[in-house]
C-alpha cells in the first residue's frame, strides 16, 4: 500500500516542496510559541491560571 502511495506521489511535479513548507510552518509556530512564553508577563499567566478556580467559585454560589 505504501509503495502505491509513494509511486503516485513521485509522479506529481513539484511535490517535494510540501514537506519543506510543512517543516517551516511547524518550526515557525513553535518558535513563536516559545517566544510568547518567554516574553509573557507573569501577571497575565497568573490571571489566566486562576480562571478555572474562579469559574468553580461562581458555580458554588
Residue 45 has pLDDT above 60, yes or no: yes
Cβ–Cβ contacts within 10 Å for residue 36, how many? Answer: 9
- % of the chain beyond a pLDDT of 90: 33
Residue 51 has pLDDT above 90, yes or no: no
- Enter the pTM of the model: 0.58
pLDDT digits (tens, 9 = 90+) for 7-23: 777 788 888 898 899 99
55 within some domain: yes
Query: CA of 54: how far to CAs of 40, 44, 47, 51, 58, in Å?
Result: 21, 15, 10, 5, 6
28 within some domain: yes
Range of the domain at 36: 13-60
What is the pLDDT at residue 34? 96
- What's the total number of domains in the chain? 1
5 within some domain: no
7 within some domain: no
6 within some domain: no
What is the pLDDT at residue 48? 86
31 within some domain: yes
Amino acid at each position: 500500500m505504501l509503495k502505491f502511495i509513494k509511486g503516485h506521489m513521485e509522479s506529481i511535479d513539484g511535490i517535494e516542496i510540501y514537506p519543506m513548507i510543512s517543516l517551516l510552518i511547524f518550526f515557525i509556530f513553535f518558535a513563536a510559541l516559545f517566544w510568547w512564553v518567554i516574553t509573557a508577563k507573569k501577571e497575565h499567566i497568573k490571571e489566566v491560571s486562576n480562571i478555572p478556580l474562579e469559574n468553580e467559585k461562581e458555580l458554588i454560589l
